[in-house]
Chain A
C-alpha cells in the first residue's frame, strides 16, 4: 500500500513565523504535490515537483516555497505566515505517467493567529 505521511495533523502558528510542513512517501514516486483546500474552493495546487531538486509553481504559489532534497520527501515552507494562510494542506504523490492517480496524505490543518 502506498503511504503518504504528513508531519502534523494540526498546527497552530503565529503571524510572521516561518512554518515547515513535511511530507514523506514510501513508494518511490517521482511526482509530489502540495495543495491547499478551502471550503467552497476545492483543492488548489501550490507547488509540485517531478524530480529531486526540481519544482514548478502551481496555481497559487505566492507566499510559499518548497524543497525536495530527497525523492521521498517534499517540504512546504511558509516564509512568514499570515492569517490568510490558515487552511488545510494536503500532500500527494504519484508515479510519472498520464494515467497514474495521485495518493494523498491525511492533511495538516494549519491555523495562523
Chain B
C-alpha cells in the first residue's frame, strides 16, 4: 500500500526566510503527489500537484515542489515566507489499492512563521 512520511511535525521559521517541508513516499510504478494547506479553522486546499512531466511543480502563493524519483521525495519549498503562510501542510499520494481511488495523507507539518 502507498504511504507518505512527513519528516517534520513542526517547522518554525522567521519571516522572509526560506523554508523546506519534507515529504517521502513509498515507491510505486506511477505516482501522483499532492500538497495541501490548511489554514486555522478551515478545510484543506490544494497547493500543487505532480502527475507527470516536469519534476519541478509550481503552485499557489509562491510555493513549489520537486519530484525526485530516485529519492522518493516530494519536498515543498518557498524562498521567502510570510506570516500568512502559518498553517498546517499535508503531503498526499494517490492510491489505487483495490481498484479504488483514494488519497493517502501524511501526518502534517505545522509551519509557524514568526516576525
A contact residues vs B (CB 8 Å cutoff): 4, 31, 33, 40-45, 48, 50, 56, 58, 90, 92, 94, 96-99, 101-107
Contact = CB atoms under 8 A, between A and B. Distances in A.
Contacts, number: 57
Nearest to B95: A45
23 contacts: A31-B101, A33-B102, A33-B103, A42-B106, A42-B108, A48-B100, A48-B102, A50-B100, A56-B100, A90-B43, A90-B44, A92-B44, A94-B101, A97-B101, A102-B103, A104-B36, A104-B43, A104-B45, A106-B41, A106-B42, A106-B43, A107-B42, A107-B43
A40 B46 contact: no
B94 to A, nearest CB: 6
B9 interface: yes
B45 A50 contact: no
5 A-B pairs with least C-beta separation: A104-B43, A42-B107, A43-B105, A104-B44, A99-B51
B45 A99 contact: no
Contacts of B9: 40
B6 to A, nearest CB: 8
Contacts of B34: 101
A101 B106 contact: no
Contact of B107 (A33, A41, A105): A41
B90 interface: yes
Interface residues of B, number: 24
Contacts of A56: 98, 100
A12 to B, nearest CB: 17
A3 to B, nearest CB: 11
Given A42-B107, A92-B43, A98-B32, 6 more contacts: A58-B102, A90-B44, A99-B51, A101-B46, A101-B49, A107-B43
Contacts of B98: 56
Nearest to B44: A104
Nearest to A105: B43
